[in-house]
Amino acid sequence: MFTYATLAQLRRYLGLRDTQTGDDALLGALLDAAARLIERHTGRRFYPARGVRRYDCRQAFALLLREDLLALHALTNGDGAAIDPADVHLQPPGGPVYAGLTLKRGRTAFVYADDPLDALAVDGTWGYHPDWSGAWREPGAALADPLDASATTISFSGASAAFEAGHLARLGEEYLIVTACDPVAETLTVTRGAHGTPAQPHAAGAALSIYTPPPDVTQVCLRVAAWLYRQKDAGWVQAAGGLRGQITVPPALPDDVALVLAPYTRLRVA
The answer to the question of residue 131 being in a domain is: no
The answer to whether residues 145 and 128 touch, using CB atoms and an 8 Å cutoff, is no
pLDDT at residue number 128:
98
Last residue of a domain, one of 193, 211, 229: 211
pLDDT at residue number 159:
87
Q: In terms of domains, do 145 and 168 share one?
A: yes
pLDDT at residue number 20:
86
Residue type, position 37, single letter? L
Q: In terms of domains, do 253 and 240 share one?
A: yes
The answer to the question of residue 183 being in a domain is: yes
Q: In terms of domains, do 103 and 89 share one?
A: yes
pLDDT at residue number 233:
60
Last residue of a domain, one of 126, 160, 180: 126
C-alpha gyration radius of the chain: 21
What CATH number does the domain containing 195 carry? 2.40.30
Q: In terms of domains, do 106 and 160 share one?
A: no
pLDDT at residue number 1:
80
- Residue-range definition of the domain harbouring residue 115: 49-126
Residue type, position 11, single letter? R
Q: In terms of domains, do 142 and 194 share one?
A: yes
Nearest Cα residue to 115 out of 159, 80, 70:
80
Q: How many domains, the chain?
A: 3
Q: In terms of domains, do 170 and 197 share one?
A: yes
List Cα–Cα distances, 253 to 37, 136, 207, 226, 256, in angstroms.
8, 28, 38, 12, 8
Predicted structure pTM score: 0.90
Q: In terms of domains, do 193 and 219 share one?
A: no
The answer to the question of residue 223 being in a domain is: yes
Q: In terms of domains, do 17 and 78 share one?
A: no
- Reading the chain (270 residues) residue by residue, the pLDDT tens digits are 899 999 999 999 999 988 888 899 999 999 999 999 999 999 999 999 999 999 999 999 999 999 999 999 999 999 999 999 999 999 999 989 999 999 999 999 999 999 999 999 999 999 999 999 999 999 999 999 999 999 999 999 998 889 999 999 999 999 999 999 999 999 999 999 999 999 999 999 999 999 999 999 999 999 999 988 887 665 555 544 444 455 566 656 788 898 999 999 987 654
What's the chain look like in SS3? CCCCCCHHHHHHHHCCCCCCCCCHHHHHHHHHHHHHHHHHHHCCCCCCEEEEEEECCCCCCEEEEEEEEEEEEEEECECCCECCHHHEEEECCCCCCEEEEEECCCCCCCCECCCCCCCEEEEEEECCCCCHHHCEEEEEEEECCCECCCCCEEEEECCCCCCCCCCEEEECCEEEEEEEEECCCCEEEEECCHHHCCCCCECCCCEEEEECCCHHHHHHHHHHHHHHHCCHHHCCCECCCCCCCECCCCCCCCHHHHHHHHHHCCCCCC
Last residue of a domain, one of 72, 91, 126: 126
Q: In terms of domains, do 116 and 66 share one?
A: yes
